[in-house]
Amino acid sequence: MPLSEHEQKMLDEMERQLFADDPRLARAFSPTGAPRRNGRRIAIGLGAVVLGLLVLVLAVALPAVWLGVIAFIGMLVGAVYAVTAPAVKEGSEDAPGSGGTGGPGGPGGSAPTAPPGGGDFMKRMEERWEKRSGDDSRF
C-alpha cells in the first residue's frame, strides 16, 4: 500500500532529522553503506576451500584422520574468509567515529564524540538519551 502525500512528507522530514541528529547512525543504516564484495578475497577463500577439499580426498585415500580434520578446518576458514567483509580500520574515513568531514556531524558539529579508547556503546546511548530528554524538560 503506497504512502499518502502527507505520510511521505513526514517520512522525508524524519529522515532529514535523523541525518541532522545522528549522521553516523544514518550512514550505518543507509543502503550505500553496505559492504562490497572483494573479488580477490572471494578468490582466495574459494582457493582455500578447493585446496582443503583436495587434501580431504587425500586424507580419505590415506588412513589419516588428523589430515582430514585439518583439511576440513581449512575449508571452513576459507569459506568464512570468502563470505565476510574485511574489517574497517579505525583511522580510515569509512570507520564510525573517525572524525571525517562527511555530513553535518563533522568536526565542530553538534554530534557527540566517543570518549578516548572507544568507550562503551550503552553509555554513549544513555548520555544521548539524557541529553535529549533534558531538552524536553523545559516544556
Q: List pLDDT tens digits, range 27-63.
A: 777 666 455 668 888 899 999 999 999 999 999 998 8
Tell me how long the chain is: 139
**Residue listed under C-alpha cell 581449512:** 74
Mean pLDDT of the chain: 74
Which of the residue ranges 38-42, 68-72, 90-94, 119-123 would you say has the lowest mean pLDDT? 90-94
Average of pLDDT values for 109-135? 67
Residue 46 grid cell: 574459494
Domain ranges of the chain: 36-86
Average of pLDDT values for 77-95? 71
Of residues 96, 90, 97, 89, the one with CA closest to residue 114: 97
CB atoms within 10 A of CB 104: 13
Rounded Cα–Cα distance for residues 43 and 18 (Å): 39
pLDDT digits (tens, 9 = 90+) for 94-109: 444 444 444 444 444 4
Q: Is the pLDDT of residue 135 over 70?
A: no
> Residue 66 corresponds to which amino acid?
W
Rounded Cα–Cα distance for residues 1 and 14 (Å): 20
Q: Is the pLDDT of residue 93 over 70?
A: no
Contact between residue 62 and residue 56 where contact means Cβ atoms under 8 Å apart: no
